[in-house]
Amino acid sequence: MAGTVLDYAIIVVYFVAVLGFGSLFGRFTKSTRDFFFGGQRFSWWLVAFSCLATTVGSYSFYKYSAMAFTYGLSSSMTYLNDWFWMPLWMFFWLPILYYLRITSVPEYFDRRFGPASRLAAVIILLVFMVGYIGINLLTLAKCLNVLLGWDIYFAAALVALVTGIYVMAGGQTSVIMTDLLQGALLLAAGLAIVLLGFSALGDGQGLMEGAAHFWRQLPNGHRLPFADFNRPAEFNSVGIFWQDAFANGIAFYFVNQGVIMRYLSCPSVKEGRKTIIFVMFVLMPLAAVAVSGAGWIGKAMEQAGKLQAPADPDNVFVAVAAALCKPGVFGLVLAALTAALMSTVDTLINAVCAVFINDVYQPYLKKNAPDRHYLQAARWTSIITTLLSLAMVPLFARFKSLYVAHGTFTAAVTPPMGVALLLGVFWRRFTPKAAFWTMLGGALAVLASFVWPWLITPLAHGTPMFPEDSAAHPVYTSYTYIRALYAIVVSVVIGIAVTWFTRPRPFSEIEPLTWKGLAAARRIFKGGEPNLAPGRKAYAQLMVTDSSGDDSTVELDSSAVERLAARSGDIIYIRDRRWWLGGLRSITARLSEKTAPAGVCRLGRLLAKEGYLERTRRVILEKVI
Amino acid sequence: MFSPWLSFWYQYLVGGALFLIGIFYIWRSGELKAGADGARGYYLILWLGLVGFWGLHLLLMLEGS
């Protein structure tokens, strides 16, 4: 199937817009802090959209539409089942990362457990992320091949080129800004298909009648938000719960370098928490509808005799989009698919750069170089990562087993690594040796389970080892979902057992790196006693001074200081009052002992320049700590 | 119809247990008492979110059964 000229034109405009939009923000990147963490200045809503765009991959529309068509509303399980991690993520892991300025999971492992665990974590993360970029490129290339007839390698190279260029130019700032565009586009396209479906099902009687008709047409089993408990092997709720909510939940919220960097782009822990709440309770439910909608609508249309369902459910997204979308709208849907891919890949490229520069290049290859050197190295790393991932596309395309092997590898290493991390944060007694053996032993135990799947049977909750047509499935496809429970249990047992026989580090050394040490972490961050008195926002006119004694502080008038409940030495977030800039023009600075004239926020020239603040603007002030 | 209900209760009992472990850690850490970074407000939102998801799922289960 191929699009019309209009669809092609929309795709081209989209590529040009993303490239231009992403590259535009290159000028906001002047340090590694900008390149990796966007200068820690972005508003919660901007980071939230970026998180959403990262979560929804190019395969999501295909995969979830197929599940939705076959199983109904229960296809939304994976988007709505990881809320229970929120207390641990919001209240502990996020503040530890932020206050200790930890830039990557390997760095945390180094500080909590030592260099051996750091090395293991670096290898695991780099192999996982580079392979994952390659798989995402291949997935989208296959989609574009089916939809537009483009050559797979041409499509992969085009997408990689566009993404690589803007990541190189603008790093995290470009990633977040383009993700806003892409997140909005993919949500809009997915939800548009649902509304068009209601319209088609309503036969011109309005959307509400169409929605009612949709609900009536869905078969009974399709209306339930949960699948059957333990059958079939391909889609059962207990397996998906352990695989997706637990293993992927740990991998996504605690280990995923891209996600960690995204939250660290916020100016404060409070802003990060706001982001988490918005993503979890607003954007994820919307995304669940957006990616599954075509499948639900397709089933209702099939029941109503308005759609000839494709033989292969994997093609239902294309069939429904083609049936509902007029030329032009179809182009937008294709652009949304591309957006889903690019917004996942750009995050991963930036994350690979961060791990490589912070955990390999800086500590081992080039110590104590100026920041400009590391920024240049990061730009080159982004290009090399893109090329390396692109080189993997023919490899993944040629050997199906390699594609599966990457999935197998991921399943084997991410749960043990996640367990080691969680035990490290929430159990102070957990020892460095135990962390190392949890990762290594856990991974080996999981790999063993691919050879001897019966190891998992006692924990399988009655799920079948193989799908019904088991003859077609090799041994490594056994227990697709419930293996995660086995991985978690084995890793926890190894961790506890090794800890029992080995000596922990003194609590005083590791306290800020654990749940018990948040107050200490705050003191380290601030370099003094934190001010936790609740304050309110204040507004002021920016005044930039050309010659200032101390260029790292901000002077405010007494009423603003009172409103903020601040005292000298506190860290203040200063941002341009225009909300739609999302914090792009902002900076954090320490409050000076000196007082500014009434209604004025006085700032040194260098600080204003670093925050891209314009001299004549009004600013909003918030106390960080 | 029994099996999806089992799925519903399993997720909320096991997931709920982990949620409560998180709540236990929050209480023990003293974060609520310290009130840093809007802790009390976000603690309340967490509970509201849990109840909201549970209510939404329960509603869909009852409607779809």
CB-based contact B36 A91, cutoff 8 Å: no
Residue A407, pLDDT > 70, answer no
Do residue A224 and residue B65 have CB atoms under 8 angstroms apart? yes
Q: Which of A7-21, A132-146, A422-436, A477-491 has the highest mean pLDDT?
A: A422-436
What whole-number distance in Å separates Cα of residue A262 and Cα of residue A49? Answer: 10
Residue-wise burial string across A37-49, b where 16 or more C-beta atoms lie within 10 A, e elsewhere: bbbbbbbbbbbbb
What interface predicted TM-score (ipTM) does this complex get? 0.95
State the pairing for strand pair A538-545/A600-604.
Answer: parallel
Contact A265, A350 (CB under 8 A): no
B4 to A228: CB separation less than 8 angstroms, yes or no: yes
Using alpha carbons, list the distances in angstroms from residue A409 to A52, A154, A260, A430: 25, 28, 22, 25
Contact B49 A83 (CB under 8 A): yes
Q: What tokens does A262 get?
A: 């995204």
Q: Please judge whether A241 and B45 are an interchain contact, meaning their C-beta atoms are less than 8 angstroms apart.
A: no
Q: Quick one: pLDDT at residue A303?
A: 92
Listed in sequence order, the residues at least 6 apart from B52 whose beta carbon sits closer than 8 Å to its beta carbon are A281
pLDDT of residue A512: 94
- Choose among B7, B21, B29: nearest Cβ to A516: B29
- State whether A269 and B37 contact (CB < 8 Å): yes
pLDDT value for B1: 56
Q: How is residue B2 annotated by DSSP? A: H
Q: Is B54 on the interface with A (CB under 8 A)?
A: no
The Cα of B43 is separated from the nearest Cα of chain A by a number of Å equal to 8
Give percent of chain A with pLDDT exceeding 90: 43
Query: B6, B9, B11: best mutation site toward chain A, by most A Cβ within 10 Å?
Result: B11
> Which whole-number Å values give the CA distances from A459 to A482, A485, A491, A591, A595, in the listed order?
8, 7, 14, 56, 65
B32 shares contact with chain A (CB less than 8 Å): no
CB atoms within 10 A of CB A184: 15
By C-alpha distance, which of A454, A625, A607 is closest to A528? A625
Cβ neighbours of residue A541 under 8 Å, at least 6 residues apart? A599, A600, A601, A618, A619
Tell me what the mean pLDDT of segment A31-50 comes to: 85
Chain B nearest-CA distance from A248, in A, is: 14
Instruction: Please state the rounded mean pLDDT for residues A571-588.
Output: 92
DSSP three-state, residue A441: helix
Among the ranges given (A24-28, A74-78, A95-99, A159-163), the one the predictor scored with the smallest mean pLDDT: A24-28
Name the CA radius of gyration of chain A, rounded: 25
Is residue A171 predicted with pLDDT exceeding 90? no
DSSP states of A466-502: S-SSGGGS-GGGTTTTTHHHHHHHHHHHHHHHHHHHS
Average pLDDT along chain A = 87
Cβ atoms A71, A487 nearer than 8 A: no
pLDDT for A355 beyond 70:
yes
Does A532-623 carry CATH code 2.40.40.20?
yes
Indicate the pTM of the whole model: 0.90
Q: Do B29 and A518 touch (CB under 8 A)?
A: yes
Separation of CA A209 from chain center = 37
Contact yes or no for A120/A436 (Cβ under 8 A): yes
d(CA A39, CA A86): 25
- A5-494 and A532-623 share one fold: no
Cβ contact (<8 Å) for B38 and A426? Answer: no
Closest CA to B23 of A351, A28, A87, A119: A87
Among the partner-chain residues B3, B23, B25, the one whose CB lies closest to the CB of A515 is B25
Judged by CB atoms closer than 8 Å, whether chains meet at B11 and A273 is answered as no
Instruction: Say whether residue B9 is in contact with chain A using an 8 A CB cutoff.
Output: no
Q: What angle do CA A89, A95, A96 make, to 5 degrees?
A: 95
Query: For residues A506 and A177, which has the higher predicted lDDT (pLDDT)?
Result: A506
Residue-wise pLDDT for A487-519, tens only, equals: 999 999 999 999 999 999 999 999 999 999 999
Cα angle value B29/B34/B37 (rounded, 5°) = 100
What whole-number distance in Å separates Cα of residue A65 and Cα of residue A340? 15
Q: Which amino acid is at A239?
A: G
What is the DSSP track for A259-305? HHHHHTTSSSHHHHHHHHHHIIIIIHHHHHHHHHHHHHHHHHHHHTT
Give the minimum alpha-carbon distance from A222 to chain B in angstroms, rounded to a whole number: 8
Q: How far is A594 from A503, CA to CA, in rounded Å?
A: 50
Q: In the prediction, which pLDDT does A23 show?
A: 78
Q: Which of A126-140, A166-180, A400-414, A574-588 is modeled with the greatest confidence?
A: A574-588
Q: Does B23 touch chain A (CB under 8 A)?
A: yes
CA A252 distance to own-chain centroid:
7
Q: Which residues of A touch B54 (CB under 8 A)?
A: none
User: Distances in Å between the alpha carbon of A603 and those of A545, A574, B29?
Assistant: 6, 10, 37
Interface test with A, best of B2, B23, B37 (most A CBs within 10 A): B37
Instruction: Give the lowest-confidence range in A252-256, A279-283, A443-447, A476-480.
Output: A476-480
| In contact, A408 and A476? CB cutoff 8 Å | yes
> What is the average pLDDT across A9-26?
81
Chain B residue closest in CA terms to A88: B22
Q: Select from 1.10.10.10, 3.90.1150.10, 3.40.50.10710, 1.20.1730.10 the CATH code of A5-494.
A: 1.20.1730.10
Å between B51 CA and nearest CA of chain A: 11
Tokens linked to A336: 């949304």
Mean pLDDT of B5-23: 95
Chain A positions touching B30 (Cβ under 8 A) are 519
User: Is B55 near chain A, with CB under 8 Å?
Assistant: no
Q: Which residues of B touch A73 (CB under 8 A)?
A: 60, 64
> Which residue in the set B18, B34, B64 is minimally distant from A224, CB to CB?
B64
Which residue on chain B is closest to A227 by alpha carbon? B4
Write down the domain spans for chain B. Answer: 2-64
Question: Would the CA dihedral through A289, A583, A162, A359 be positive or negative?
Answer: negative
Which residues of chain A have a CB within 8 Å of the CB of B45? 277, 281
Tens digit of each residue's pLDDT (9 = 90 or more) over A380-394 = 999 999 998 888 888
**Residue of chain A minimizing CA distance to B52:** A281
Q: What is the pLDDT of residues A125-145, one digit of tens each?
A: 888 888 888 888 887 787 777
Q: Residue A236 corresponds to which tokens in the numbers above?
A: 């059962």
